[in-house]
Amino acid sequence: MRLFAVLVCLVVLGAAPGWAYDEVTVADGGTVTGKVTLTGGKPIPKGFNLITFPDPVYCGRISTGTGWRLLEDFKFGSDGGLKDVVVLIKDIARGKAFPFTPPTVEAKDCRFMPFLTVVRDQDDVVVVNMDPVMHDIQAYETSHLGPRVLFNTPLPMNPHHPKSGVSAEYHKHIPGEPMKEMIHMTKGRRIFVMQCGFHAYMESWGLAVDNPYYAVTGADGTFSIPDIPPGEYTLIAWHPGVGKMLEQKIVVPAKQAVQANFTFESPKGRRSAHEMVENPHFGPEALGKPLNVQPTLELQKP
């Protein structure tokens, strides 16, 4: 439910095509390369008060040192190159073979890794708990029409973890039994999101693809999509934290490369109901009992 207010504000990325994708031999394909950048500086990160969620000591291994956990959903370099952007050719009817391996997402250190994946309608997603604490998977599809629950499934941990008393110094990760669920998107929706029902700062996003002509930007914001049949296409770029899609027309020549760059503007102001507030009454001492929340793995900075 914590995601609902955010999800209804997202715009739809366009309906899936009404025809099947045909696999053909592409002998004279071209390539589109480019870079996605973010302008306007670092957005305000979502902040979560650890004492309002279970397992504050273990999950506080990644925290600010003042009792807050930040969801850092924007990662970009010094030149603005934006990571975790899906770039996709929309409505391409035929092209190279489309093999697809269902993504595996790990719950590790009270975060989902990777933060962003690509998924495919009527295919699976696999989630594995590496932590010594329980997680609960709540998955939604969403668009401007609002969210719809896809599944809600407990994520078991490996029984060889300690039964209790897990401290901030415990860094062992043992995979639990994998959870596998099928994704069934409706009404042309493309956006897929998972959140832990126990730890709201755990999010993983995905974009449903219907053809093999996509890429996810790396740490420098660059991408490359090869073997495209010559022709005119619409290229889209999407990042879950921006909440909108960018698109542009491209013409791909035979056996040549074309450049296509995108620039997102950094979101301004308050981005959600969750935001870090410097207030001593919100720290671990607010519980009225000793609670040693230490960022032994990563000290986050707002």
pLDDT at 125: 96
pLDDT at 188 over 90: no
Q: Residue 284 in 3-state DSSP?
A: helix
pTM of the model: 0.86
pLDDT at 213: 98
pLDDT at 270: 75
Rounded to whole angstroms, what are the CA distances from 185 to 93, 147, 191? 19, 11, 9
Average pLDDT, the chain: 88
Give the mean model confidence (pLDDT) for residues 179-207.
93
Give the mean model confidence (pLDDT) for residues 76-85.
92
pLDDT band at residue 289 using 50, 70 and 90 as cut-offs: low
Beta bridge partners of 140: 149, 193
Q: Amino acid identity of 158?
A: N
Give the mean model confidence (pLDDT) for residues 150-163.
92
Cα 272 off chain centre by: 16
pLDDT band at residue 285 using 50, 70 and 90 as cut-offs: low
DSSP-derived pairing of the beta strands 124-129 and 104-107: parallel
d(CA 185, CA 12): 13
Name, in order, each residue with C-beta under 8 angstroms of 231's C-beta and a sequence gap of 6 or more: 251, 252
pLDDT at 165 over 80: no
What does the domain layout of the chain look like in residue ranges? 4-299
Q: 67: closest CA among 51, 91, 90, 88?
A: 51
Q: Which of 97 and 271 is assigned the larger pLDDT?
A: 97
**Cα Rg for the chain, rounded, in angstroms?**
21
Burial environment of residue 90 by CB neighbours within 10 A (0 to 12, 13 to 18, 19 or more): buried
